[in-house]
Amino acid sequence: MLIMVNDETHDVTATTLADLLEELGYRGARIATALNGHFVPALQRAVTPLADGMRVEVVAPMQGG
Amino acid sequence: MTDRIQDNREDNRMDVLFYGQALSFPLMLGTAQYPSPEILREAVLAARPGVVTVSLRREAAREKTGQAFWSLIQELGVPVLPNTAGCHTVKEAVTTAHMAREVFGTDWVKLEVIGEQDTLQPDVFGLVEAARILSEEGFKVFPYTTEDLVVAERLLACGCEVLMPWGAPIGSGRGLNNVFGLRALRAHFPGVPLVVDAGLGVPSHAAQALELGYDAVLINTAVARAGDPAQMARAFRLAVEAGQLGRKADPMEERDMAAPSTPVAGKAFLG
């Protein structure tokens, strides 16, 4: 299944958002996620199914003013 | 003597509350654009700000740059105020606020909805709408706004308890562009915590904001882009303290004509 993560296409076997993060190596990272532009809280990642072509955003703390 | 100095410092503590919470010092320091994480750390230690502002950006799994930054911020032990910098729509800003609340574990958010690319002027219409949505959802919104009184009124009506008007465009270093407007805002909302956010360039700008009765200032570029950020951070801290003390000491009235400071009575007649 092809999923866009932060604008990069990934061919993944994961079927949920939680599995996707695991598969891509985000385990343990302090991140927040959005799916097709909608925020997905950490607790819902495991019950959030993925479908081909979905867009995932993964963000983390960064310097800001 | 040491005790007395300590006592004075206690007196200078802010009594203004931001959503029920006092800041340890009325200075908010941005964490962006420093030459290195080490220089950022030195600047924060020199400024000893009440909060540091932080943001969210895309994280690559292989690099994990955000995790290192977060470790540094945690080590510094200063409360964080996440922003929605770079958001141009209500939806973007609201979604970013949701993500920031989860990542940073705070319901404080410095709400930016940018409306114009050259000045990074807030889109005040989008700002009010996003502030309403987020306030209803329990966020404690710090809106980055202009000095417009009507917009300020709307922001307060939709739940904001703090206002953050710009001094000048973000990163411009021009200081307080519209002193009249900022003074009017202060006079119009005497009980509302007001923070000058953006556009300050040198410490005297910060002192001026505090002298006008502003409760705090937010600075980033002025410190981060200085030749010696840690020194500049300390200078801003001193300026904020000076401005705050000056305001509390009740400044004299300005006048157009001279008034002799040396008493005239008793002067020898030598003509």
The answer to whether B44 contacts chain A (CB < 8 Å) is no
Report the run of H or E that residue B200 belongs to, with start and end.
none
Contact, A5 vs A20, CB < 8 A? yes
- DSSP conformation class of B11: H
Residue A40 has pLDDT above 50, yes or no: yes
- Mutation pick from B31, B91, B102 vs chain A, by most beta carbons of A within 10 Å, is B102
Nearest chain B residue to A27 by CA: give it.
B61
Cα R_g (chain B), whole angstroms = 20
- Report the sign of the C-alpha dihedral through residues B47, B216, B222, B160, in that order: positive
Q: Percentage of residues in chain B with pLDDT exceeding 90? A: 85
Separation CA B235–CA B76 (nearest Å): 20
Predicted confidence band of residue B11 (pLDDT cuts 50, 70, 90): very low
What's the rounded mean pLDDT across residues B143-170?
A: 97
Residues 4-43 of B with CB under 8 A from A: 30-34, 40
The pLDDT score that the predictor gives to residue B259 is 87
The pLDDT score that the predictor gives to residue B4 is 41
The pLDDT score that the predictor gives to residue B236 is 98
Mean pLDDT of chain B: 92
Residue B210 has pLDDT above 60, yes or no: yes
What's the rounded mean pLDDT across residues B207-214?
A: 97
Predicted confidence band of residue B229 (pLDDT cuts 50, 70, 90): very high
What's the rounded mean pLDDT across residues B187-215?
A: 97
The pLDDT score that the predictor gives to residue B267 is 87
Interval B119-156: pLDDT, tens: 999 999 999 999 999 999 999 999 999 999 999 999 99
Active-site residue among B64, B91, B110, B140? Answer: B110
Judging contacts by C-beta atoms under 8 Å, the chain B residues touching residue A3 are none
Q: What is the residue whose two structure tokens read 């300020």?
A: B152
Q: Which structure tokens are listed for A65?
A: 């003013």
Distances (CA, A) of B123 to B131, B135, B221, B230, B261: 12, 18, 22, 33, 49
Residue B18 has pLDDT above 50, yes or no: yes
Which residues are within 8 A (CB) of A24 and not within 5 positions of it... i.e. 6 or more apart? Answer: A5, A10, A12, B61
Separation CA B131–CA B139 (nearest Å): 9
Contact, B85 vs A65, CB < 8 A? yes
Distance of CA B34 to the CA centre of its chain: 18
The pLDDT score that the predictor gives to residue B61 is 81
Predicted confidence band of residue B94 (pLDDT cuts 50, 70, 90): very high
Please, what is the end-to-end C-alpha distance for chain B in angstroms?
Answer: 50
The pLDDT score that the predictor gives to residue B62 is 80
The pLDDT score that the predictor gives to residue B264 is 83
Which residues are within 8 A (CB) of B23 and not within 5 positions of it... i.e. 6 or more apart? Answer: B14, B16, B50, B51, B216
Count how many residues are written for chain B.
271
Q: What is the pTM of this model?
A: 0.90
Q: Which structure tokens are listed for B108?
A: 């404080």
Separation CA A45–CA A49 (nearest Å): 8
Contact, B23 vs B216, CB < 8 A? yes
Judging contacts by C-beta atoms under 8 Å, the chain B residues touching residue A65 are 30-33, 53, 55, 83, 85, 170, 218, 220-221
Predicted confidence band of residue B105 (pLDDT cuts 50, 70, 90): very high
Q: Residue B103 and residue A6: Cβ atoms within 8 Å?
A: no
Nearest chain A residue to B74 by CA: give it.
A61
Contact, B143 vs B121, CB < 8 A? no
Residue B14 has pLDDT above 50, yes or no: no
Q: Which structure tokens are listed for B190?
A: 């005497």
The pLDDT score that the predictor gives to residue B206 is 98
Report the run of H or E that residue A32 belongs to, with start and end.
strand A32-35
Separation CA B97–CA B110 (nearest Å): 9
Which residues are within 8 A (CB) of B143 and not within 5 positions of it... i.e. 6 or more apart? Answer: B111, B122, B127, B131, B155, B160, B162, B163, B164
Confirm whether B64 is a catalytic residue: no
